[in-house]
Amino acid sequence: MPSHVRFEDLGLVDYASTWDYQTSCHRQLVERKRRINQGFSEEGPIPHVFILCEHPHVYTLGKSGHPDHVLLNESELAAVGATYFKINRGGDITYHGPGQIVGYPILDLEDFYRDVHRYVRNLEEVMIRVIAHYGLSGVRLDGYTGVWLEPSGNQPVFRKICAIGVHLSRWVTLHGFAFNVNTELHYFDHIIPCGINDQEKAVTSLSRELGYFLDMEEVKSRLRLEFETIFACTLIC
């Protein structure tokens, strides 16, 4: 496995430019692989990158998603200050917005392990460990990606706290996870989140579960530590 992954915190940044940046990073990794296969030595900056950011209000629909899971038309989207993109990750419709930490690992899995299932499980494990630091027990649900909280006394349903949707091309990853920290959860009312129309499943956030707003930088620091542990790497700014 590579010992170093470049880390970038982009702050609050629009979705379209971040998607373009992901694509650029992906292209660089694919080009690096081509050069290595042609016998050239590996040179230049650290090729793998782990991006954290927040987005203005935006809905993204994965390649297997259904457009009718977006419950707003174009003018209604504008009225709530949100944009909408169809993209090439797996999964259905989801929401990104301020107070949510979005993570984009752009990794050549041939330098880690050639196992997509393991990669998704490792992203989930990062998040399970992060929320455990705050006293929450995250679980996986059969048939669903992401991290959930089990029903409890005053919360009778499963609640998704982190959504995951990825895409791979030539073993290089795109997209990633969306972790609800201080997220405005009412924006999920405008979609059928992840295409799951089930009264026994809902969306939640760290702040809703804990009853107070979190320091985003503190949560990001914890997330970085757990990413380094699970992916056996060092994040370099």
Q: Rounded to 5 degrees, what are φ and ψ at 196?
A: -95, 105
Sole residue written with tokens 């984009």:
104
Check if the beta carbon of residue 109 is closer than 8 Å to that of residue 173. Answer: yes
Q: Is 194 marked active-site? A: yes
The single-letter code of the amino acid at 193 is P
Query: Cα(157)–Cα(182) distance, rounded to whole angstroms?
Result: 20
3-state SS class at 109: helix
Burial 95-115 (b: 16+ CB within 10 A, else e): bbbebbbbbbbbbbbebbeee
In a 10 Å sphere around its CB, with 0-12 CB exposed, 13-18 middle and 19+ buried, how is residue 198 labelled?
exposed
Neighbours of 36 (CB within 10 A): 13
Query: Cα(96)–Cα(14) distance, rounded to whole angstroms?
Result: 10
Check if the beta carbon of residue 180 is closer than 8 Å to that of residue 187. Answer: no
Query: Cα(149)–Cα(102) distance, rounded to whole angstroms?
Result: 19
Query: Cα(138)–Cα(66) distance, rounded to whole angstroms?
Result: 28
Choice among 53, 162, 194, 233 that is catalytic: 194
| Active-site residue set | 194
